[in-house]
Amino acid sequence: MNPTPSLPDLAAKAAQLDAEDPLAAYRERFAGSPGLVAYLDGNSLGRPLKATRDRLAGFVDEVWAARLIRAWDEGWMDAPTELGDTIGRVCLGAAAGQTVVADSTTVLLYKLARAAAGARPGRAEIVADTENFPTDRFVLEGIAAERGLTIRWITPDPALGVRPDDVAAVVSERTALVLVSHVAFKSAYIADLPAITRIAHDAGALVLWDLCHSVGAVPVELDAHGVDLAVGCTYKYLNGGPGAPAFGYVARGLQDELRQPVQGWMGAADPFAMGPAYEPAAGIRRFISGTPPVVGMLPMRDMLELIDEAGMAAVRAKSVALTEFVVEAADEHLVPLGVRVASPRDAAVRGGHVMLEHPAFREVTARLWQRGVVPDFRPPAGMRLGLSPLSTSFTEVADGLALVAAELRAHG
């Protein structure tokens, strides 16, 4: 492997920022990755914690083997709501009893969007945007086909995202549901959650927020802003591991109004009654369908403890500092090589990642992976740098950007 090139001024600034970083010590709590120069994809899959290795190993002997099915009565049955309450308190600004961990993001999106559409009879439209993540769009297309609904598509500026005026222009008395991502998965634009929620409510519609690129990186206040519904994944900034279950938020006042479309035994009032007909459980528990993914919930507990210890305000401050560092470095070292910064320059409306664009980035990203630098590529020409605040150093980012510049120069 070729030695890692350096941009001396950038490396010096990174070293200074690392020395001043109040969260620097947290990096030591993450498991190492042999051969890694820079991990710049924390918004796709978070790095595992050392504590998680011990938790998973201990679970096999101390809980699974030791207690067997008795463990269902000793915590497993309550894990979806107990862990949901923790996510709500630490990351979402949500009081207890409104968040549940279950299923995948796609399944929970379907369940909550389908329930919301059914809760507004006589309204035949759903509002969504063409720049949203494919799952969101595909799920809504399926629901629209099932129920004979029309999707009113917003086509936002790809460098930004959905803005309040975009939503106001298409909602009406025909709108049942508005679905928006809080942080755009490409540009990292942070949508105006309070304003868009108000606009949807003024039209009599419900609003569902996708928090996949927000939770654990950008503070969210769901209760304070009257949000109806939210869904997010836990394998990005919550470091739950590949395939970790998602979470769903349903505001307390809506829980009895919405009908769960995937009626499974674990969401029933008495799962072990094995009765002839479905009767929903009280509260948020009714939105569970099948057996809780107990093993899949274990890793995120360690990361939630870490975020709780550091505090979301400090995590967000580090996230802003990291993305500012990338934007400034890109302007100085990458823009002269033909790179375009495709994320908002205002940190107040930029999430935890930065999108850079260059026609050669598909090939460059593949070569970077071979050299131990791991961003991700998003068609047609985007390199996305996802910077998980508690596991990422400024020096790591500087080393990665130096290799990006070197590969671009080699590409010509």
Of 110, 133, 189, 287, the catalytic one is: 133
Catalytic option among 47, 152, 186, 236: 236
- Residue 16 DSSP symbol: H
Q: How far apart are the first and last CA of the chain?
A: 21
Q: Which residue has the tokens 């011990």?
A: 54
Contact between residue 112 and residue 287 where contact means Cβ atoms under 8 Å apart:
yes
Residue type, 46: G
Q: What is the pLDDT of residue 4?
A: 62
Pick the catalytic residue from 318, 384, 394, 399.
384
Of 191, 194, 173, the residue nearest 182 (C-alpha): 191
Token look-up 């025909």 returns 174
Q: Which of 138, 143, 94 is nearest to 120 (CA)?
A: 143
CA distance 316 to 19: 18
Q: Which residue has the higher pLDDT, 412 or 186?
A: 186
In this predicted model, what pLDDT tens digit does every residue of 374-406 receive, in sequence order? Answer: 999 999 999 999 999 999 999 999 999 999 999
- The answer, as to whether pTM is greater than 0.85, is yes
The dihedral built from the CA positions of residue 373, 377, 381 and 386, taken in this order, carries a sign that is negative
Distance CA 206, CA 197 (A): 8
Q: What pLDDT, in 10s, does the model give residues 99-156?
A: 999 999 999 999 999 999 999 999 999 999 999 999 999 999 999 999 999 999 999 9
Q: Pick the closest to residue 267 from 287, 297, 249 (CA basis).
A: 287
| 377 has catalytic annotation | no
The fraction of the chain above a pLDDT of 70, given in percent, is: 99
pLDDT of residue 1: 43
Q: Which residues of 40-52 are buried (b: 16+ CB within 10 A; e: fewer)?
A: bbbbbbbbbbebb
Strand, helix or coil for residue 247: strand
Q: Which of 235, 325, 361, 394 is catalytic?
A: 235
Q: For 366, which DSSP code?
A: H
Helices (H), 91-192: 105-118, 134-147, 164-168
Q: What is the pLDDT of residues 153-193, one digit of tens each?
A: 999 998 889 999 999 999 999 999 999 999 999 999 999 99
What is the spatial distance between Cα 64 and Cα 61, in angstroms, rounded to a whole number? 6
Side by side, the strands of the sheet bearing 229-232 are 99-102, 246-250, 229-232, 206-210, 175-181, 125-129, 150-154
Asked if 247 is an active-site residue, the reply is no
Out of 41, 166, 192, 210, the active site residue is 210
Cα 67 to Cα 60, 73, 164, 355, 372, distances in angstroms: 10, 10, 52, 47, 42
Domains of the chain, first to last? 8-49+311-411 (3.90.1150.10), 77-307 (3.40.640.10)
Does 210 participate in catalysis according to the annotation? yes
Q: How many Å apart are CA 311 and CA 240, to the nearest integer? A: 18
